[in-house]
Chain A
């Protein structure tokens, strides 16, 4: 039984993986459906008001999924990651691991990587569902931009998990770790209102999937991706250092 298997069992036996995948798949199936029938839904509930909705295009199916995934999906991914990364939530449990693990990095690595992989995997499964249903209901979506958008989306999810790791290094509560992370991500997105600044921010990656499947250019996101990678590395270093110095 390794620390890696421990994290896998945490995901499976606590049904966190099922919740994570379930949320992304739900929105993956709901997104294209909503995009396809939004006009019909609005006209049915519009009463005497005539609602004119442009005919949906395949990109709308993916965009609807992306919007939901980056909100509700991100929320669930952060909570799941906080559950794994808030090592000292129960001191008696953390004593067992900390007293037998000489380096904080060794303790943190499986929790971080498994949390990232779970979030990324759930996102990809949801996206696959959205892509398939979009193809059936609205038509095909170009695969290249879809994959590039998925890559940026996963990068942002990974960044969110590293924020959780840094916050959880000082927290003793899963709820507090998740809440502070979400608040941080929200505040970090505020400068997006200034486009010249926004293109450098990790939060810029949130809109990449939507934009790329509509014909946007990958180069618009490279700066934000580079900053995200550097920021994530910095957050990881902080998380390891703080965890190593932490007293139980």
Chain B
């Protein structure tokens, strides 16, 4: 379990974190999202004990912690196997894992004996992950763990994070909202040093959702938009392109009863009407607007 109360971190007059109350239940994957400069790295550094808070409290369960910075670097004259071996040794005497298996899981089996000075950024990221998970730490703090990876590598990292669920408490930050939505149990939205939203991903999506429909027409787009805007249960009509509208309504029931009638009365040639699922990106944009 990780909990912070009134966490503040100031750099001179600037508050990187301003009263953050973080709650991370044990064994979950917690995705931390926020724009650049929101305070994600600062928050992870405080949780890792690498920086001290200006004010507030941090309570973290006892146990081994491992941190992955956004751009991991290692002494270039070490081999990948030596880096993981060192990480395992530092994790404690109980860490007796098969290092080759850990390297293989990170996709570095063939590069195990190579010195890391010649590694690409993606390979360093994979090595950083291998060094982070080795020794099975109870708490993992990952700063943009998939940032430097190609799509295949990103998929592997997400799968690895998913496999950690229940085995460890994982807090990871990411700019890729789809990744956070895919693997996180809980999500926290950080903006300008403040935690705007926090909670289980599903609850957040349901609580913040407004029924939205996507309407595609072959002709008569403006007439459809005008008709919808005059309708009481329509909250907003957004023109996406020449043929597509996004219609947000305040009642699914009213929309299901009346939407087709409005389209019919407009005389437009309707190609498709489909409900639109809300995703984390919408909530993120709304929260940080």
Chain A contact residues, CB within 8 Å of chain B = 1-3, 6, 9-10, 13-14, 90-93, 95-101, 245, 247-248
CA distance in complex: A6, B74 (Å): 11
Chain B contact residues, CB within 8 Å of chain A = 45, 48-52, 65-67, 69, 71-75, 77-78, 82, 85-91, 128, 131, 141
The residue of chain A having its C-beta at the shortest distance from the C-beta of B73 within the complex is: A92
Q: Which residues does chain B contribute within 8 Å of A13, judged by CB atoms?
A: 77
A19 to chain B, nearest CB (A): 15
Q: Which residues does chain B contribute within 8 Å of A101, judged by CB atoms?
A: 90
A177 to chain B, nearest CB (A): 17
Can you list 13 pairs linking A and B with CB atoms under 8 Å apart? Answer: A1-B82, A1-B88, A3-B90, A6-B78, A92-B73, A93-B73, A95-B48, A96-B73, A96-B128, A99-B65, A99-B141, A247-B50, A248-B45
CA distance in complex: A99, B67 (Å): 6
A159 to chain B, nearest CB (A): 27
Dominant SS among interface residues on chain A: helix
CA distance in complex: A100, B89 (Å): 10
Known: A2-B86, A96-B87, A100-B66. 14 other contacts (CB 8 A): A1-B82, A13-B77, A90-B73, A91-B69, A93-B73, A93-B74, A95-B69, A96-B74, A98-B50, A99-B50, A99-B65, A245-B52, A247-B45, A248-B51
Among B66, B69, B90: residue with most chain A CB under 10 A: B90
Are A95 and B75 also in contact (CB < 8 A) when A1-B86, A248-B51 are?
no
Q: Which residues does chain B contribute within 8 Å of A10, judged by CB atoms?
A: 75, 77
**Cβ of A1 and Cβ of B91 under 8 Å apart?**
no
The residue of chain A having its C-beta at the shortest distance from the C-beta of B51 within the complex is: A247
CA distance in complex: A6, B87 (Å): 11
The residue of chain B having its C-beta at the shortest distance from the C-beta of A15 within the complex is: B77
Q: Which residues does chain A contribute within 8 Å of B71, judged by CB atoms?
A: 92
Among A3, A96, A97: residue with most chain B CB under 10 A: A96
**Cβ of A96 and Cβ of B82 under 8 Å apart?**
no
**Cβ of B69 and Cβ of A9 under 8 Å apart?**
no
The residue of chain A having its C-beta at the shortest distance from the C-beta of B99 within the complex is: A1
**Cβ of B72 and Cβ of A92 under 8 Å apart?**
yes
Q: Which residues does chain A contribute within 8 Å of B128, judged by CB atoms?
A: 96
Q: Which residues does chain B contribute within 8 Å of A6, judged by CB atoms?
A: 75, 78, 86
A96 to chain B, nearest CB (A): 7
CA distance in complex: A97, B52 (Å): 17
Q: Which residues does chain A contribute within 8 Å of B89, judged by CB atoms?
A: 1-3
A97 to chain B, nearest CB (A): 7
CA distance in complex: A174, B228 (Å): 67
CA distance in complex: A222, B90 (Å): 41
B103 to chain A, nearest CB (A): 13
CA distance in complex: A3, B89 (Å): 9
Q: Which residues does chain A contribute within 8 Å of B52, judged by CB atoms?
A: 245, 247
B192 to chain A, nearest CB (A): 21
CA distance in complex: A98, B141 (Å): 14
CA distance in complex: A185, B142 (Å): 43
Q: Which residues does chain B contribute within 8 Å of A90, judged by CB atoms?
A: 73
A242 to chain B, nearest CB (A): 14
The residue of chain B having its C-beta at the shortest distance from the C-beta of A95 within the complex is: B69
Are A9 and B73 also in contact (CB < 8 A) when A99-B65, A100-B90, A248-B45 are?
no
CA distance in complex: A167, B72 (Å): 26
Among A3, A98, A248: residue with most chain B CB under 10 A: A248
B53 to chain A, nearest CB (A): 11
CA distance in complex: A160, B69 (Å): 33
Among B50, B78, B88: residue with most chain A CB under 10 A: B50
B283 to chain A, nearest CB (A): 31
The residue of chain A having its C-beta at the shortest distance from the C-beta of B91 within the complex is: A100
B16 to chain A, nearest CB (A): 12
- Out of A9, A91, A95, A97, name the residue touching B90 (CB < 8 Å): A97
The residue of chain A having its C-beta at the shortest distance from the C-beta of B49 within the complex is: A99
Among A13, A93, A100: residue with most chain B CB under 10 A: A100
CA distance in complex: A3, B83 (Å): 11
